[in-house]
Each structure stands twice: as structure tokens, then as C-alpha cells.
Structure 1
Amino acid sequence: MKKLLLIALFLSNFSFSLAQVERDTLLVGYTSAAPFIIQEGELLEGINVWLWKRVAEQLDLEYKMVPMDFSKMLDSLKQGNIDVSINPLTITGKRSKHIEFTHSFFASHSTVAVAETSSIQKIRSFLDAFLHINFLRGFLLLFFILLFFGTLIWLFEKRGNSEHFRPNLKGIWDGLWWSVVTVTTVGYGDKAPKTRMGKIAALGLMFSGLLFVSGLTASIASSLTVNQLSNNSDSFSAFKERKVGTVNSSSANDFLKVHFFKKISLYDSVISGLSDLKEEKIDAFIYDEPILQYRIKKDSTLNGLELLPIKFDVQFYAFGIVKNNIELEQKISQAILEIMETQEWGVVLAEYGLSEI
């Protein structure tokens, strides 16, 4: 009986030791987010990978890397299924309720990726604006004004000035020609009224034509300007009514919802979102600028995409730590601060095309 108790006690202590070893081995979740985390086959590199390895070496931490989707990674961290996330997580109040954050190691912002506009598309956009129904109505009204005064001047001039305003339909054409030349202020002088009523009709055309053409010109210029501004994406607000995409569970998604974006498509990764943008399934993809910039620059399949000069939603990146593990968070934060004070940190950022703000 005593032997059985001793064996049971031994097995219990052995199991406890194994569990203690497992708890001492940190589970570190990550998902691809170049240039911070770059995974090519079994090769794992990037800014955050380098930073984590330095932190783990400095603190003598045992850890196991666990790849997972971004949304699943956040859920696992909140539920305590992993201990650390080394992704560039944006520090937000909503996330801080469920996750501990280390000291921030990089500041960034969101931006907008769009498909480059070709010359043909620009010309088509201009023609669409210029041939708007309101423009056509205006030109049609102008034509009737010219035809009216042209016919009127012909009626007054056809007898006393038949050499300038010929009889029959040819005379109506002469009157229309004179109306156009007069309103456009070309003034060839090949046709001119000689009768009193003809000159009075000419004055009526000059004043009414001047006012109408000035108003029509202002309307055209204003409409073209409005159309250009509506197509000119110089702020993220220009995309509120368009189809935009972003990464699921990201801070960019929260930002878009708060600012009343209506047509948001969510993606599990940046690559899938940019691919849909390339195929024109969405009008824009909104996410963290350094990640979008690196991906578009490095991926040849994404040629034809560009980032707009728009910067909004300033973000501070940090590692995520399981809630209430304050001791681990403080140790890692201290190590991050010490590493950031070295010249090596600036060299690593420069290597991936980034710099500190």
C-alpha cells in the first residue's frame, strides 16, 4: 500500500513539474504583417521578429511560436490560450480592456490604397462630366437663342440687306452664322445688320447672349470643378460612400465604423484585400501605411496600386500580453525601451525602409 502511495505521489509531482515547464514556455502568437513579420516558408523574419528575439534573449525566456490568423490571434490572447502576440498591435482603449500592452516601439498611421487611374480613365471621367445632361440642356437652349435671333435678323434684313442675308433657307443660315459670330465676339464683319429693327435685334442678342453665355460658362466651370473634387481623393472622407476594404478585427476597421463608413468589406489578410482592389472588387483598401507600402512595393502582382498622400488615425504599435500578467508586461516593456535606445534599432528600421517619427 505504501508503495502505491509513493508511486502516486511521484507521478503527481512529475505531472506538476511537466505542467510547470509548459507554463514557463510562453506561447507566442503571430500572423504575417510585413515588414514587421515576414514569413516565407519556414523562414520567419521582420522588425518584430528581430525585436522579440532580442527581448527573449535578454530576459532568458522560453517560448514557442504559434502562427494563426489575425482575428483568431486576438481572441486567443484575450482568452489566455497564448501568452504573447508579437504583431504590431495598435494600442486602443477597447483592446486594453482584455489585453495588456507593452511599451510602444513604433508610431504609424492609416492610409488609403487605390488602383492607379489611367489616362483613358481620366479622359472618360472628364467627358462624362462635360456631357452631363445639364450641359446638354444648356447648349440646346443656347442653340435655340441663336436660331431665334438669327431668324429674327433675317426677317428684318432680307429685303434691305439681301447681299448679307439671302432669301429662303440660305438666309436663315446667314442669320444663324451672324448670331454665332456675334455671341462669340469673333466679329468677322462679313455680315452686319443695316436696318433699324435689325440693329435693335442685334442689341438684344448681344445683351442676352452675353449674360447667358457668361452664366453657362460659369456653370460648366463649376460643375467640372465639383466633379474633379468628387473624384479627387484628398481625404479619407471621400471614400465614405464607396466600397472599401480593411483587415477584420483591426483598429482600422474600428476607425471606419466610428466615422460612419457604410460599405466595408473585411478580409483575413492584407494580401487578399489588395488582390480584390487590383481586380476592382473594391474601390480602396484602408490599413496601416507601412504594411501597405511594403506589400505593394515587394509584390509584383500588385503593380498598378498606389498609396494616396493621406494620413489619419495615428497608431502606436506594441506587443500584446495576456491580461493581468503585469510582471511579464513590465519586464518586456523595460527590455523594449533598452533595445530602442541602441543604434542597432535604427539600423533595423532603415533596413526595412522605415524610420522613427
Structure 2
Amino acid sequence: MITDFLSARIFLNWVLVILLCTIGVGHAYPQQDEETILEVAVVDAAPYGFAVSEGFFEGIMVDLWREVAEDLGMRYNFTLIDIDEALSGVREGTFDLAIGAITVTPERETMVDFSHGVTPSGIVTVVAKDHIHGKFETYYKPILLSLLKIVLILSTFMLASATIVWLLERKHRFHEREKQIRHLGDGIWWSAVTISTVGYGDKVPHTTLGRVVGIAWIFVGVTMVSLFTANAAAILSRPTVALTVTFQDLKKMDFAALDNSAASEYFDRHQMDYTGYDDIDEAIQDIRDRKTEALVGDAKVIRYLADEVYPGDLIISDNVLLMDYLAFAFQERSPLIEIVNVALLKHINEPRWQKTLFSPIHKEN
């Protein structure tokens, strides 16, 4: 009797252990039911996500999600919508997650949960090329400032060598007084003709130290002139327009930003006035028609449009106004986040994805 009771108790204990292990595994790794199909919102913004034809999607984030889902054995449907509908849909449970041009911001963090950061991005300024041609501030000024910087460096070296030789030569008296460097002006003249390799010989150093400085200046001068020529040629032959726009510049401009974008959220946070647009193509068209001066938005989205849709029509600022990260968006406390993050980190650390996701934000216009 006692033996039967102990056997039954041992049996019940083993059953309890097996049940606990099964429950533990189920909570640690939530599996997708074979009948479950995830609803994935794709934010319509190339190059991250867009439809090339009905039912067929492409883009950096779309391709990355496909690989992650394949690893996890997940089935899914894509729906192409704008950022506002995507985030509200994820929050309300209409979609299981959203992918595409989704920047992690403080405002969005209160609505949804994000995966690990997928790719760095930033906000830049874009203007119409014909709107800035002929403007001194945006076209000629950067070129002149670059050339002026080189001239100042060269002049500093010339003045330094002239001063040193004059200090060494001015107290000495020689037979050929007309060739003696007696004044600072004589030293500057000697330095200029020496660096230009003309060498008139009307002013020359006579002291040993003066001649040593002269020899050194010849070698330094030749190098400086070569560098000056190369840099000047590079600057003057630049096929692009240099454009730098800061937040202080924006405060003086009539500029646009997409509604519910990372840029507009930043401007709202800092109480900066801007014109809001629902459609980026409409905003760019208004820039080209000079209805507004500039558009501020995601760097890679704007670069894609400038290269693929409006080639030769737009100038993108050389500087990034604000750095940020893009990520996948999930409903708060979604069980998908952890398992997706593991697969996501595996892929974004692969060399080919590193090259795609971490390519330079800014390129020459």
C-alpha cells in the first residue's frame, strides 16, 4: 500500500516537472502557429521600403525583414502605408510590426516599442539647384573662402621666412649694399621671388645663417606652391555647389518638413516654424517652383530622390543637421521583439549588410 502511494507520488512529481519545463520553453521562445500570418506595415519611402508593382515590395528594410522572417520561419503579409498610419496601426494592434523609414524618436517611443537600431540616418536640407545659382552666399562664398584659406597659409609662411632673413641680415654691412636685405620689405620681396622660382638676384642673403634659411625656404616654397596649385585647381574645378545649412540658418528661411517625420517632431519640440507636407514629392515640387526655400528630411530618402527621381535638380546640404537611427516598430511588450532582435543582430553584423546599412549618410552632390 505504502509502495503504491510512493510510486504514484513519484509519477506525479515527474509529470509536474515535465509540465513546468514545457511552459518555460514556451514562454522563452514564442513560436508562430503554422496558421498565423503576421501583418507587416511597410512605410512608403524609398529606398527603405516601396512597391515596384502591385503586391511586390522592395527596399533595404524590406529585404532585411525577409531574411529575418526566413530565419524564424515566419509567414507575413505586407501593407504599404504612410508613417502615421503604420505607427498608429502597430499601437492599436492592426499590424504586428512596421518596417521602413521609421526613425526612433522620443515621441514615438511613447507609442510603440522598437527593435535594436538597424541603420544610422540623419536629417539634411535640400534646395533646388537653380534657386541658389548666382547667389554669393551659397555658391561663390565657399569657393572664395577655400582659396582665401590657402592664400593666408602661404602668406604666413612667406612673412615668416622674410622676417627671419631680415633679422639675420639687417645689421650686417657688405660691399653690394644694393643687394642687401636691410628692411622688412626687402625680405618680403626676396621671399616672394624665391618662392616663385624667379630668383631675380637683386636681393640676396649674405650671412651663413641667412643662406641656410634661404635654402630651406626654397624647398619649403616649392612644396607650398605645388600644394597651392593643386588645391586651387581642385576647388575651382568642383562640379558641385557647396551648401551648408545650420539650425540658425533655418530660423531665417521658409522651409518645409514632412508631417509626422523625425524632422517635424524635432522642430515642434524646439518651437521652430515650418510648412508641413503630407507628400514629399509635392514638397520638392514646391521647392522647384520656389514656393518654399528648402525641405528638411531623412538623408537617405532625399539622396535617393535626388539621384533617381530628380537628377540634377536638387542640391543637398554638406552637413547633417541631426543624427538618428531607424528601427522596426512593435506593439508595446510584444513577444516578437526579443526573437526578432536576435535574428536581426545576426544579419546586420554580416559584411554585406554592414556595407548597405552603414554606408555614408552624405555623398557629394
User: Is the TM-score greater than 0.5?
Assistant: yes
Which stretch has the larger CA shift, 112-121 or 42-51?
112-121
CA distance in 2, matches of 1:120, 1:348: 33
CA distance in 2, matches of 1:335, 1:307: 35
SS of residue paired to 2:303: helix
Q: CA deviation at 1:246?
A: 1.3
- Cα distance 1:119–1:78, how it changes in 2: closer, same or farther (>3 A)? closer
Give the aligned length.
227
Work out which of the residue numbers 64, 67, 70 in structure 2 matches 1:57.
70
User: Is there any run of 5+ residues in structure 1 with no aligned partner, and where?
Assistant: 1-19, 127-231
Work out which of the residue numbers 309, 316, 335 in structure 2 matches 1:299.
309
Number of the residue aligned with 2:290 = 280
Number of the residue aligned with 2:267 = 256
- Cα distance 1:319–1:23, how it changes in 2: closer, same or farther (>3 A)? farther
- Cα distance 1:54–1:260, how it changes in 2: closer, same or farther (>3 A)? same
Whether contact under 8 Å (1:114, 1:305) holds in the other structure is yes
Answer yes or no: is 1:270 the counterpart of 2:270: no
CA distance in 2, matches of 1:125, 1:339: 42
CA distance in 2, matches of 1:124, 1:90: 32
Number of the residue aligned with 1:30 = 42
Report Cα offsets for 1:81-106 as digits up to 9, x if no partner.
11110123111222112201001111
CA distance in 2, matches of 1:320, 1:50: 16
Identity, in percent, stands at: 23
Answer yes or no: is 1:67 the counterpart of 2:115: no
Q: CA deviation at 1:304?
A: 2.1
Work out which of the residue numbers 52, 57, 68 in structure 2 matches 1:40.
52
SS of residue paired to 2:45: coil
Q: CA deviation at 1:46?
A: 1.3
Q: How does 1:209-220 map to 2 (within 5 A)?
A: none
Q: CA deviation at 1:317?
A: 0.8
Whether contact under 8 Å (2:306, 2:313) holds in the other structure is no
CA distance in 2, matches of 1:311, 1:356: 8
Q: How does 1:1-357 map to 2 (within 5 A)?
A: 24-42=36-54, 43-117=56-130, 121-122=134-135, 234-262=245-273, 264-300=274-310, 303-325=312-334, 327-349=335-357, 354-355=359-360
Q: CA deviation at 1:332?
A: 0.9
CA distance in 1, matches of 2:66, 2:323: 27
Q: CA deviation at 1:319?
A: 0.4
TM-score by length of 2: 0.57
- Cα distance 1:29–1:256, how it changes in 2: closer, same or farther (>3 A)? same
User: Is there any run of 5+ residues in structure 2 with no aligned partner, and where?
Assistant: 1-31, 140-242
CA distance in 2, matches of 1:107, 1:271: 23
CA root-mean-square deviation: 2.9
